[in-house]
Each structure stands twice: as structure tokens, then as C-alpha cells.
Amino acid sequence: MQPRVIQRILGLLLVVFSLTLLPPAGVGVIYGDVGVRPFLDAFLITLATGFALWWPARRERRELRLRDGFLVAVSFWLVLGLFGAIPLTLATAPHLSVTDAVFESMSGLTTTGATVIVGLDALPKSILFYRQELQWLGGMGIIVLAVAVLPMLGVGGMQLYRAETPGPVKDAKLTPRIAETAKALWYIYLGLTVACAVAYWIAGMDVFDAIAQSFSTVSIGGFSTHDASLGYFRSPEIEGVAIVFMLLAGANFGLHFVALRRMSLRPYLQDAEFRTYFGILAALAVITIGYLYITGHYTHFGTDFRQGLFQAVSLGTTTGFTTAAYHHWPGFLPALLIFASFIGGCAGSTGGGIKVVRFLLLFKQGVRELMRLVHPSGQFAVKIGRRPVDDRVIDAVWGFFAAYVATFSVFMLLLMATGLDQVTAFSAVAACMNNLGPGLGAVGDNYAHLNPYAKWVLSLAMLFGRLEIFTPLVLFTPGFWRR
């Protein structure tokens, strides 16, 4: 362990993060609202703390070790969650407790989208912009951004990238150098954001809403500037734009990179994970639309189609936008949509959940075990596309799944210990660990009424989900701290 190196990196990253507190202040100046001062105060506090951490260790230039990378990843998300809450705590509108501010900040940075704020439509523009900005920064991971910048400052970053990037196969690089990889992903992320904002504007949003909603669409975040989420606009065109960009953001960004480089759609068609991802969402949409039509929940099939398709894509990709109160839908639909979030987006995307490639590997491994029962002497390979998958990768996926189930169970029991019913506790943990946002039961609309203890538990669940369980769990193993 190299504490001084870690201290230097945390200091640098806090200094960088402090700069992100200035755009909301600028928005406040433009719109003349009362939300400017909290951001300026938070900027000074964050900058001073970052500088105080960096200055004593500024001459440390050693490369990060593997264990350092995991510690930095977890530490920085925790630190960001706390410092990101400062302007929300200092603001007079909304008036949030420290617990609520940390919950909102962590929800934004982890792109969960669960909120404790009611009355979004009346809030200052600076606060609304800040919530969206938090999600945009968290979408691809602030650490991935830092990997593109910190090598220029003499800081090695491969371990950070391995600790942060989603997916079971984390050493595959799109370009030879890690900084170039991170930059390539960031340019794609930025390009999608700009395209989404322009599309929203053309579809009828004003400039502020178009930019704000694009931040939370491409990040698969789900925060909105309105209490009614995208349902506020009552626009099929806006919902159509959202569906397209949610689908794109839930796909592997490596695929976008390769497709752009080759100027071809073939990489999407040839990728087994993308085909599975699209197939799952299509099946989910068909079931949702069909059941709404059969039960007569809406009076017109057009409404069934529009609402069913939007909610299926939004919740299936773990974005969390809503245009209808899906938690009041008939029969099994609310539970089905929550369960869909467990699969989530593709590895290497901004989506949450277990990830499609892991789900695919678990399914194929289950099929292989059935085949072995029928043919005990047979040799069966698990393949993704045409490539056999190493058994070590499959073992790692099973290990991840076991850790996920165990962690989920602990968080759910902790919530139930506070007096929450099973449906609320289950869906709240699912929505937070899968970085989805809206749940069922008492958390169908928001999380404002939950007790402080439950909010801290769920904030931790968001962190575990964003860092994919193993990254924070490894810190609790004795071997990690052993010399």
C-alpha cells in the first residue's frame, strides 16, 4: 500500500471535481436564482481540501499498484458522495439534511436516479442543473475521465481502469494505451450527449431542459428537472428520442468505438451480447404492451404501445425515466420490470445491473450443466459468439453472482429491520444496487419519507452497485491489507 500516492491522487481528483461546481453557479447567474452562493462556497471548500491533500504528497510519482487502484476507486466515490452533497446541504431550496444531501449526491454520481426531493419544478435552475451534471459525470465514471488526464500528470492509471470499468473481461483494450482508450470512450460519450441534446431540442424541449435531460439520458441516470419525469412533456417525439439514446447508452461503448472506426453497423450485428441485449428489451416490450392491452389498463392500444415500450426500455436499461406510474400497473408487470433491471445494460456501458454478458454466460453455463447430465462423458464449451470462454471467466461470473445475491440479501434484511415491508425493501435495494432509481410500494414515487438509517443503507447499496460488488468487497478481505 502506498498511502502518499493515494493521498496525492485523491487531492488531484478533488481539485478537478471542485471545478465542476462552477457551471451550476454560472447557470444560477444566468437565470438570476438564489442558488449561486452554495456552489461558490462548496467550490472553495472542495478546492482547499483537495489542495491540502495534494500539496504534502505532490512529489510522489510512483506507479499505482493493483491494491492502490481498488482503494482509490472506492475512496474517491465515497469522498465525491460527501463533497458532492455540500452545495445541496448549504442550499436553502431545497432544504435538505446531511443524510438527504448525501443520498441525493450518491444517487447522482452512481447514476441511480433515486431522489428524496419533492417539488423539482419549483427549484432553482442551478440545483436542477447540478443534479443532472452529477449523473453525467458519474455515467462513464469520473475515474475513467481521470485516467485520460492523470497520465499527463505522471500518474499511472491501468489499475484504476480495471477497478472501475464494468464487465467480467476488464483487460481488453480498444487502443494500445489506457489514456487513449479512456479518451476515445469519453469522446463518444460527449458526442452522444450533444446529439441527444440537439434531438431533444428539435423534438420540442427548451434549451435548458434539452441539455439537462441529455445528461441523464446518456448517463442512464434518470434524474429529471420535473417531478413527472419525461411524462411532464407529454410528447411522443421526446419519448422516441429518449428511447433511441437509452438504447445506445445501454450498449457497450466499445462497440460504438469499433462501429465508428469502421463506419459500419456490422459490429453490432455480430456481437452476441448486443443481440441478447436487444432481444431481451424487445421481448420485455412485447410482454408489457400485450399485458396492458389484455387487461384494458388504457383505453387505446396506441397508449398501451407508447407507455409499455417506453417503460420497458427505460427500466430494462436501468435509466429510470417514467412517463406513467408503472408501480400501479396491473398483475405482474411492476415486478417484471424491476426484475428486468437485474440484467441491466451491456458491459462497458453506462447501464447498471448484473450486465447482459454475465446473464448470457450464466444462462449458457446452466445449459451446459443440463447437457452434462444427459451426456456425462461429453465435452461442451461455453461460447460467446463463436469464441469459447475460459472457465476462469465463468468461475469469476459465478463468484460475482454469488457475491451479488449475498450482498443484496444483507441490504434487504437491513432495510426490513427498519420496519419497511418486503415489497418496498426488495424493490428499494434492487433499484439502488442496479442503479435504476424508481422502485415499488412506498418508494414508487420517491424516497423522501424513508428513515435516515434506510437512506444510508441504500446509499451504500448504490456504491456497491456502481463499483460492481467486488471492488468495495475486496477492501473487507484481510489479505487486501496484508503486506
90: its cell numbers: 448549504
What's 23's DSSP letter? H
CA–CA gap between residue 464 and residue 415 (Å, rounded): 16
CA–CA gap between residue 223 and residue 108 (Å, rounded): 8
Residue for grid cell 461470473 = 397
How deeply is 55 buried, as exposed, middle or buried, from its count of CB atoms within 10 A (0-12, 13-18, 19+)? exposed
Q: Max CA-CA distance within the chain?
A: 75
328: its cell numbers: 400501479
Strand, helix or coil for residue 41: helix
CA–CA gap between residue 422 and residue 167 (Å, rounded): 30
Instruction: Render 423-445 in DSSP notation, one character per residue.
Output: HHHHHHHHHHHTT----SGGGSS
- CA proximity to 434, closest of 319, 287, 308: 319
Point out the annotated binding site: 111-112, 220-221, 318-319, 435-436
What are the backbone angles phi and psi of residue 128, rounded to the nearest 5°? -60, -45
**Bridge partners of residue 383, in order along the sequence:** 388
CA–CA gap between residue 51 and residue 146 (Å, rounded): 17
CA–CA gap between residue 288 and residue 190 (Å, rounded): 32
CA–CA gap between residue 149 and residue 164 (Å, rounded): 15
Point out the annotated binding site for K(+): 111-112, 220-221, 318-319, 435-436
CA–CA gap between residue 397 and residue 293 (Å, rounded): 38
What are the backbone angles phi and psi of residue 338, rounded to the nearest 5°? -65, -45
CA–CA gap between residue 147 and residue 128 (Å, rounded): 28
**Bridge partners of residue 388, in order along the sequence:** 383
Please calculate the CA angle 132-135-139 and round it to the nearest 5 degrees. 145
CA–CA gap between residue 275 and residue 43 (Å, rounded): 44
- In angstroms, the Cα distances linking 145 to 130, 168, 247, 403 are 18, 21, 22, 28
Count other Cβ atoms within 10 Å, centred on residue 386. Answer: 7
135: its cell numbers: 449523473
